[in-house]
Amino acid sequence: MNYDALFADQLDALRDEGNYRIFADLERCRGQFPKAGCHGADGLSDVTVWCSNDYLGMGQHDDVLNAMHAAMDKYGAGSGGTRNISGTNHEHIRLEAELADLHGKEAALLFTSGYVSNWAALGTLGSRLPGAVILSDALNHASMIEGIRHARCEKMIWKHNDMDDLRAKLAACPVDAPKIIAFESVYSMDGDIAPIEAICDLADEFGAMTYLDEVHAVGMYGPRGGGIAEELGLMDRVTLIEGTLAKAYGVVGGYITGSSHLCDFIRSFASGFIFTTALPPAIAAGARTSVAYLKASAKERDAQKRQVAKLRAGLDRAGIPHLPNPSHIVPVMVNDPVKCRMLADILMDSHGIYVQPINYPTVPKGTERLRFTPGPMHSDADIAHLVQALSALWSQCALSRAVA
């Protein structure tokens, strides 16, 4: 059996569909973000990164870096093992306390990534609560979908942000069944926002718990960066808030927050926590510093909002189609996988603009896009250059422009 030939056949099919992913070989240099070096056939070239999830540039912040250096010098490199055996460090405890305070919850629990926290928490809740039903928004992230699969409990998929459909699904559940409504606040591909209050109202009416993924909102919204639920004054109504340290906080790791009993339940039964090496203490120290900083500083969030508005205005003037939404995510719609890949390549090669094409399976076929995430460190000149480059490409490739 020629296994490599089997692998190659499927990779070739992916290329033919325009969905083969090519990674740029980048160097993020301290103090220069969003500028980066890109290694290519002609050596190292300068590019501007437009698709980073380090939304506020905190991965470059001196306070965060200094905290990580100090922790590395104090504790060493690794964590020493799983939290259950030899890997719990005082920095983990301090970070969990910071996160619990951020969301107004009794407790928090750290994971190695946001993907793992969703997979482990949803998988554990669904499998350990007898007769549980998980009601999942149709556009939930792959990590949530995997967690629900792992749970092997009954699941219901409700239409995206559709309260009538959610109500119908809840009404169809057994009255005495534990019900878990799983949804996100900011959906990262379209940038739309869930009706959190209406979902909480339905949860109260039908006796369900709410599981809110705030990974694209923590650090970004609310007076202290607690996310959309904090901005709307709803954190106390959400049973479990899940987040990441790898986006607006600029480091890495995931977490859940909730009651002491809930977090202890996940800690005690989730294989994705029990058998995984803990985050290095330097990572935890840097993340804690970032969370604490953004609790007190709104200037990064305010500057980011200004740059998002400027980019959208520039795209409107140029007739470049982009999805309207109230968030920081600016999806420029191409709706063709081959053209989307081609546009990204030309932007990189000819204009020094790095943006990854977003194709299937991340988004449905026919909705391919370039996903831009303007940040406080993108200058007005960066925005003008991006809009000019996109406008030229729209003309060059005879793409349809938006009608004002």
Q: What is the pLDDT of residues 50-107, one digit of tens each?
A: 999 999 999 999 999 999 999 999 999 999 999 999 899 999 999 999 999 999 999 9
Q: How many residues does the chain have?
A: 404
What angle separates helix 281-296 from helix 90-102, to the nearest 10 degrees?
30
Task: Output the pLDDT for position 404.
Answer: 57
User: CA–CA separation, 133 vs 182, rounded Å?
Assistant: 10
Q: Which residues pair with 372 in a beta bridge?
A: 330
Strands (E), 170-269: 179-184, 209-213, 240-244, 254-258
Which residues of the chain are under the pLDDT cut of 50?
A: none
Which amino acid is it at 88?
T
**3-class DSSP assignment, residue 211:** strand
Which amino acid is it at 323?
L
The phi, psi pair for 92, rounded to 5°, reads: -65, -45
User: CA–CA separation, 202 vs 210, rounded Å?
Assistant: 10
Nearest-10 Cα torsion for 106, 289, 95, 128: 80
Task: Output the pLDDT for position 40.
Answer: 84
Q: What tens digit of pLDDT does each residue of 284-332 get?
A: 999 999 999 999 999 999 999 999 999 999 999 999 999 999 999 999 9
pTM of the model: 0.95
Q: What is the CA radius of gyration of the chain?
A: 22
Q: Which two tokens stand for residue 129?
A: 């609560």
Helix (H) or strand (E) holding 6: helix 3-17
Task: Output the pLDDT for position 360.
Answer: 87
CA-wise closest residue to 356 among 60, 38, 70, 123: 38
Q: Which residue has the tokens 């969370």?
A: 291
Helix (H) or strand (E) holding 15: helix 3-17
- Cα–Cα distances in Å, from 20 out to 16, 335, 357? 8, 16, 10
Task: Output the pLDDT for position 17.
Answer: 85
Task: Output the pLDDT for position 183.
Answer: 98
Which sequence positions are flagged as catalytic? 247
Strands (E), 1-66: 25-28, 35-40, 43-49
